A and B are shown apart, each in its own frame.
Chain A
């Protein structure tokens, strides 16, 4: 902390001269980057449309209300599909992600040098691609429909579940493991009796949490053709049927609130 005297009084500053200069340049760099970014965005924007935005927004809201209630009967089936995409996708991900977590955790993997890096690579690859991008790819392969949605959700969730569960496994208490090892248990028995009971609550919590996220994501997968209520949303947006859009928004909101409530209840019960 630099302290100096001036006219018989002592002053202090938090940073030394060099540090404050460095910070100043850091902020300058950030501001320059920001200006450059804004310039790039502004160049690609048609400002006439933007100036018109308040009127457009007001118009949009006016057309959204009242929602077209008679459209509702057509939405039950896509809503059911959405729930299925999220639930079946999560189930597949739990089935595949749990063994993956055991392969990735340092204390349960069969081989730290060979198996663990492969398992971690699968986890990272799955996690860094959004389910919407997975869906884009899978719709191309399997054709539009619910199947592409289920697999897209599963592929994205394997990494999520794998990561959180393998971290739970690595954090588990060593003492039960040593105790069960001392009884002469086999490797499988060791995992079943020493590790599984410790990570079971985290496993349930993670799975339900992911299901909650997946419900949200499943509502929009239809935008790229992967089934569910998003298909109806895209069709309504494309035909400018804003009364239907607002109805779908309301339905999505209710579904999301419901899944959040379920997940909060289950997690409160298990932890």
Chain B
């Protein structure tokens, strides 16, 4: 048996297949990436002197994170947090109440075409703008304060909850609907007995998830005047009160983490 390499014959080697199979496309992508990096980074206008000057402040803030100051602005922080939390709860409930009819209208298996188009339109409008942009508009309309925040978060929740709920309604089992319809039930009872039992667990999960998101957003829309802890944080930064700012940041992190953890556990149970 010949154990050595066969003379005059190249060794076959295996190579890992590349991510993009087409060779020309691959190199074109690499080239445009390099080109973009050169142009993109080149067009950044950075004042390096200012950056170097700022490093001291960065160090001061990092120090403040280790020694957060909860007490000197304690009442303001507490007020801001309570405001954020109550905005979150109110907005989620209002958003949920408004989202359910929109979701039913946006489910193709329940709604006639004109209603479907209208409701999908509402969802698209509500979802396409950032909360903070909506907040600017509501602050201009309703004045500064938490009510503008509630309106913002409720508006954004409508699109979010309605979209996910409508998807769930469209994916449900059609057999119970046929059965209830065959019994001669009017549309209201149809929703109550055929649709509601199938989508309720998922709706509860979606709402908890949105509650979690709304708290995160409630922490920032205060920057444009829509109430909550964001305003307190912004003020702390404006006054260079690093200790207070660090305390608020740590509180936000703790609350966001525990909200995510709690909503995760609850959603797991609902499944």
Contact = CB atoms under 8 A, between A and B. Distances in A.
Contacts of B234: 136, 224
B16 A128 contact: no
A253 B128 CA distance: 7
- Secondary structure at the B interface, as helix, strand, loop or mixed, is helix
Given A125-B253, A136-B223, A193-B16, A41 B129 contact: no
Contacts of B227: 41, 44
Contacts of A124: 257
A147 interface: yes
Contacts of A81: 43
Interface residues of A, number: 58
B51 A147 contact: yes
Contacts of A45: 142-143, 145-147
Interface string A196-235: 0100100010000000000011011001100000000100
Interface residues of B, number: 61
A133 interface: yes
B41 interface: yes
A69 to B, nearest CB: 20
A132 B257 contact: no
B233 A136 contact: yes
Nearest to B221: A132
A132 B187 CA distance: 45
A223 B230 CA distance: 13
Contacts, number: 152
Interface in B47-82: 47, 50-51, 53-55, 57-58, 61, 82
A50 B143 contact: yes
B90 A141 contact: no
B194 interface: no
B89 A37 contact: yes
A34 B128 CA distance: 28
Interface string B17-44: 0010000000000000000110011011
A141 B54 contact: yes
Contacts of B50: 142-143, 145
Which 6 pairs of residues, A with B, have the shortest CB-CB distance? Answer: A37-B86, A49-B143, A143-B50, A128-B256, A141-B58, A45-B147
Interface of B: 16, 19, 36-37, 40-41, 43-47, 50-51, 53-55, 57-58, 61, 82-83, 85-87, 89-90, 93, 128-130, 132-133, 136-137, 140-143, 145-147, 150, 216-217, 219-220, 223-224, 227, 230, 233-234, 237, 240, 245, 249, 252-253, 256-257, 260
29 contacts: A36-B86, A37-B89, A37-B90, A40-B146, A41-B150, A45-B146, A56-B141, A80-B43, A84-B44, A91-B37, A132-B223, A133-B219, A133-B249, A133-B252, A137-B249, A140-B237, A143-B47, A143-B50, A143-B51, A145-B46, A145-B47, A146-B46, A147-B44, A220-B132, A224-B223, A249-B129, A249-B133, A252-B129, A256-B128
